[in-house]
Chains A and B, each alone.
Chain A
Amino acid sequence: MSLWCDKHRPKTLNTLDYHKEQADQLKKLVHSEDFPHLLVYGPNGAGKKTRIMCSLKELYGPGVEKLRIERQQFETPSKKTIEMTTLASNYHIEINASDAGIYDRIVIQEMIKTIAQTNQLDAQTQKSFKVIVLTEVDKLTKDAQHALRRTMEKYMNSCRLILCCNSTSRVIPAVRSRCLSLRVPAPTADQIAMILKQTCKTEGLNLPQELANKIALKSNRNLRRALLMCETAYVAHYPFTNDQEISEPDWELFLRETARQIVQQQSVDRIVQIRDRLYELLCHCIPADIIFKGLLKELLTICDGQLKPQIVEIAADMEHKMNLGDKQIFYLEAFVVKFMSIYKKHLEFSLAGCI
């Protein structure tokens, strides 16, 4: 049995639940044979991938849903072998080149060029080109992005790229200017509540409006997260009640507790304990920028108003430096220590003021 968020994923452009106007535009675009490369961007859980798959289906028909997993090997100049896993149908292939880490450029150079140079596998289709879906292009190194530039022009006859990312700031202008950019905003809380109700109805369940709203608000406008929360709530307690608890992911609770501990005590011992907790999060593959934002959010809700701008500045600065450095833990810890120092000084100062 699959999860609701997979089971009820719309499969055609016509059945997309929100941003309907954009779906119509995609349809028009797909039907004009000469459509350009696309850069689809927006936050996580906004439905970028769903939209892309629906467009491919519109383009090639149901054949794109017959997916197979393929493994390909590459050799780096230093004779190291890297293996890439891709997902492909007869018409398209999906690659996450950033999986190859610092070798992503080789993947782009070798793999994409080979695919682009070979012709459409299935002569039955009316389309003369195939589609390469590249996910997480914002995580590609600059080298790899440069490697895309001329490929995008040279092989336009035989292939189109659909690039997918969260943040266009990390995509080099040369790549951006070769694509049509499509922004996919996250669904609003209202839209999420509506989809939750609809999904429950298809499942033969009755979801009270109030609970739907509550889940939508806690979902951070992330539809996948909302559906997971809703399904968890269903497993925990059905029939639904309005005051039912909505469980949040463990790591978020853990992060909240970490923030509480930072505010509770500022000492060397505490720093050591916090370090363990940060390691724990990193070991569970929570991305460091998410930890930064999560910690900041929690700390801001606890600390005094006049400290806030300074703390934001430190968080932004440390996260930036982290991207240039190697060891994420250093920067997370530096942020924690700086926070503690500012917070402690502020406490002592206001205490002194009281006497």
Chain B
Amino acid sequence: MSTLPWIEKYRPKTVDDISYQDEIVAVLKKIISNDTGEFPNFLFYGPPGTGKTSTILAAARELFGPELMKSRVLELNSSDERGINVIREKVKTFAQFTPSGHRSDGKSCPPFKIVILDEADSMTSSAQAALRRTMEKESKTTRFCLICNYISRIIEPITSRCSKFRFKPLSKDILIQRLSFIAEKENIACDRDTLVTLVNCSEGDLRKAITYLQCASRLKLESGCIKSSDVLEIAGILKDDVIEKILDTCSTGSFEKVEQCVQNLIFDGFSCNQIVTQLHDVLIERHDLNDAKKAIIFEKIACVDNDLIEGADEYLQLLDLLVLIMKQMK
């Protein structure tokens, strides 16, 4: 039995296996098919779990074969120290020798090396500046592929030197297709309903969806088939009646009850982010609140979301929000 978790087990092995990102796949396939082809510096950007890392790794493997992968491809990600010096030294040493155009099996391969800078948006801008100079200096022997979630965090001199590809959040159909493929391979029963729930919980992030699927199959399989409710539980989504109860408490207008309710939610360990997101989804549909009141509540929700990201305390933020909702419901 393989001990690899499914996200690794089912990571695309070839560029052809990459779903949905047709533009970049077409470009890479062309490069792979005539291996002298121009290989520009690439910049891949887009939300998590859309195939960015998989794409470049698959392309590199196809270009160089498994043997040369180590000597031709340097992968630096946010788990590596990437200060200015490291960028200069490591990349320089790596790029030093001009690589040949042949593999040991006699096949030809492109005469350059690839440096992959994954999660590049967590590099400081001074490190990015150093990178830019290195990119210029080593351009004869080395190609770069930068990967990030937010292109706005990459300095302009770099973005202008790369050919940029946006990775779209995967469409529902594609997600369902991949998930049912994996479910079939793993021999687990999973009906359409469950697949749809999986997709809804994972916001176009296939990594998340696969992790949920695997967890559900490991935790819940006694009934023989994975149910929607299992997926909801694993994704940490609160049951509808819990959210209803929170709003009912707010509508009593009793400060003490709201305070108690928040205390209990925290004791129960619910994620405050998740509560806020779901409150938003429910409130937007409520007919007993007029638009002006909704606007006030949603502005607060936006602030609370921001403050939580900045490290504010969950109890205080949630209490603040629910007290405001209580006032608006009067």
Question: A interface vs B, CB < 8 Å?
Answer: 25, 28-29, 32-36, 41-43, 46, 77, 106, 108-109, 112-113, 128-129, 143, 146-151, 153-154, 156-157, 167-170, 173-174, 177-181, 183-186, 220-221, 289, 292-293, 296, 300, 305, 308-309, 312-313, 315-317, 319-320, 323-324
Contacts and interface: CB of A to CB of B under 8 A. Distances in A.
26 contacts: A34-B4, A41-B271, A42-B269, A77-B85, A143-B122, A147-B122, A149-B78, A150-B119, A154-B79, A156-B5, A167-B272, A167-B314, A183-B270, A184-B269, A293-B315, A296-B316, A308-B323, A309-B255, A309-B324, A309-B327, A313-B323, A319-B312, A323-B310, A323-B312, A324-B310, A324-B311
B-side binding surface: helix, strand, loop or mixed? helix
A169 B314 contact: yes
B48 A173 contact: yes
Given A313-B320, A320-B307, A177 B48 contact: yes
B4 A180 contact: no
Contacts of A146: 78, 119, 122
Given A34-B214, A36-B215, A150-B79, A43 B266 contact: yes
A169 B308 contact: yes
B247 interface: no
A41 B319 CA distance: 20
B79 A113 contact: yes
B79 A41 contact: no
Interface string B188-203: 0000000000000000
Contacts of A29: 215, 218-219
Contacts of A46: 269
Given A146-B78, A150-B53, A316-B312, 12 more contacts: A28-B218, A36-B211, A41-B271, A149-B78, A167-B314, A168-B271, A181-B234, A305-B255, A308-B255, A308-B323, A316-B319, A317-B320
A219 to B, nearest CB: 11
Nearest first, the 4 closest Cβ-Cβ pairs linking A and B are A42-B269, A150-B77, A320-B312, A316-B320
Contact of B268 (A108, A147, A169, A186): A186
B219 A312 contact: no
Contacts of A77: 81, 83, 85
B79 A151 contact: yes
Interface string B289-330: 000000000000000000111111111110110011011000
Contacts of B53: 150, 153
A230 B1 CA distance: 48
Interface residues of B, number: 62
B35 interface: no
B92 to A, nearest CB: 18
Nearest to A150: B77
Nearest to B320: A316
Given A28-B219, A169-B309, A312-B319, A108 B2 contact: no
Interface of B: 1-9, 48-49, 53, 77-81, 83, 85, 118-119, 122, 149, 205, 207-208, 211, 214-215, 218-220, 234, 236, 255, 259, 266-274, 307-317, 319-320, 323-324, 326-327
- Which of B79, B255, B272, B311 has the most chain A CB atoms closer than 10 A to its own CB? B79
A56 B17 CA distance: 36
A319 B273 CA distance: 17
A148 B271 CA distance: 21
A130 to B, nearest CB: 12
Contact of B269 (A35, A43, A147, A220): A43
Contacts of A34: 1-6, 9, 214
Given A185-B268, A289-B313, A313-B320, A153 B4 contact: no
B118 to A, nearest CB: 6
B236 A183 contact: yes
A309 B323 contact: yes
B3 A33 contact: yes
